[in-house]
Amino acid sequence: MKIAVLPGDGIGPEIMTEALKVLKVLDLKLEFEQALVGGAAYDAVGEPLPANSLALARAADAVMFGAVGGPQYDTLPRAKRPEQAILGLRKELNLFANLRPAIVYEELADASTIRADVVAGLDLLILRELTGDVYFGQPRGTRTLENGEREGFDTMRYSESEVRRIAHAGFRAAMKRSRKLCSVDKANVLETSQFWRDVVIEVAKEYPQIELTHMYVDNAAMQLIRNPKQFDVMVTGNLFGDILSDEASMLTGSIGMLPSAALDDKSKGLYEPIHGSAPDIAGKGVANPLATILSAAMMLRYSLNQDAAADRIEAAVRKVLAGGYRCADIQQPGKRTIGTSAMGDAVVAALG
Query: Where does the chain have alpha helices with state H?
Result: 12-25, 39-45, 51-59, 83-92, 116-119, 160-175, 191-204, 217-226, 238-251, 290-302, 307-322, 340-350
Q: Which residue is nearest to ligand IPM (CB)?
A: 83
Cβ 249 to ligand IPM, closest distance in Å?
10
Residue 87 binds what, of ligand IPM, Mg ion, none (CB under 5 to 8 Å, by partner type)? ligand IPM
- Count of residues binding ligand IPM (CB under 6 A)? 5
Stretch that binds ligand IPM, among 24-32, 82-90, 107-115, 207-215 (CB under 6 A): 82-90
Residue number with CB closer to ligand IPM (256 or 306): 256
Instruction: Give the C-alpha separation, 153 to 166, whole Å.
Output: 26
Half-sphere exposure of 331 (CA within 13 A, CB side): 7
Report in angstroms the alpha-carbon separations of 253 from 100, 139, 206, 256: 15, 39, 37, 8
Is residue 247 a contact residue for ligand IPM (CB under 6 A)?
Answer: no
DSSP code per residue over 203-241: HHTT-TTSEEEEEEHHHHHHHHHH-GGG-SEEEE-HHHH
Which residues are tagged catalytic? 135, 186, 218, 242, 246
Instruction: Give the C-alpha separation, 21 to 290, whole Å.
Output: 12
Dihedrals φ, ψ of 66, to 5°? -85, -95
Count how many residues are written for the chain: 352
Residue 123 binds what, of Mg ion, ligand IPM, none (CB under 5 to 8 Å, by partner type)? none
Stretch that binds Mg ion, among 169-177, 211-219, 236-244, 326-334 (CB under 5 A): 236-244
Q: Which residue is nearest to Mg ion (CB)?
A: 242
Residue number with CB closer to ligand IPM (10 or 50): 10
**What are residue 142's DSSP bridge partners?**
152
**What are residue 336's DSSP bridge partners?**
325
- Count the neighbouring beta carbons within 10 Å of the beta carbon of residue 213: 12
Cβ 57 to ligand IPM, closest distance in Å?
16
Coil, strand or helix at 352: coil
Residue number with CB closer to ligand IPM (62 or 274): 274
Dihedrals φ, ψ of 174, to 5°? -65, -35
Q: Choose which of 47, 242, 314, 329 interacts with ligand IPM (CB under 6 A).
A: 242
Residue number with CB closer to Mg ion (215 or 248): 248
Instruction: Give the C-alpha separation, 267 to 41, whole Å.
Output: 27
Residue 185 binds what, of Mg ion, ligand IPM, none (CB under 5 to 8 Å, by partner type)? none
Q: Choose which of 242, 272, 314, 329 interacts with Mg ion (CB under 5 A).
A: 242
Residues 263-282 binding ligand IPM (CB under 6 A) are: 274
Is residue 87 a contact residue for ligand IPM (CB under 6 A)?
Answer: yes
Is residue 110 a contact residue for ligand IPM (CB under 6 A)?
Answer: no
Stretch that binds ligand IPM, among 81-89, 279-287, 329-337, 341-349 (CB under 6 A): 81-89
Stretch that binds ligand IPM, among 80-88, 224-232, 289-297, 301-309 (CB under 6 A): 80-88
**What are residue 102's DSSP bridge partners?**
124
Instruction: Give the C-alpha separation, 143 to 272, whole Å.
Output: 35
Cβ 107 to ligand IPM, closest distance in Å?
26
Is residue 234 a contact residue for ligand IPM (CB under 6 A)?
Answer: no
Residue number with CB closer to ligand IPM (41 or 316): 41
Residue number with CB closer to ligand IPM (134 or 342): 134
Q: Choose which of 64, 86, 97, 290 interacts with ligand IPM (CB under 6 A).
A: 86
Q: Cβ neighbours of residue 124 under 8 Å, at least 6 residues apart?
A: 101, 102, 103, 228, 231, 232, 233, 234, 248, 251
- The site for ligand IPM (CB under 6 A) is made up of 83, 86-87, 242, 274
- The site for Mg ion (CB under 5 A) is made up of 242
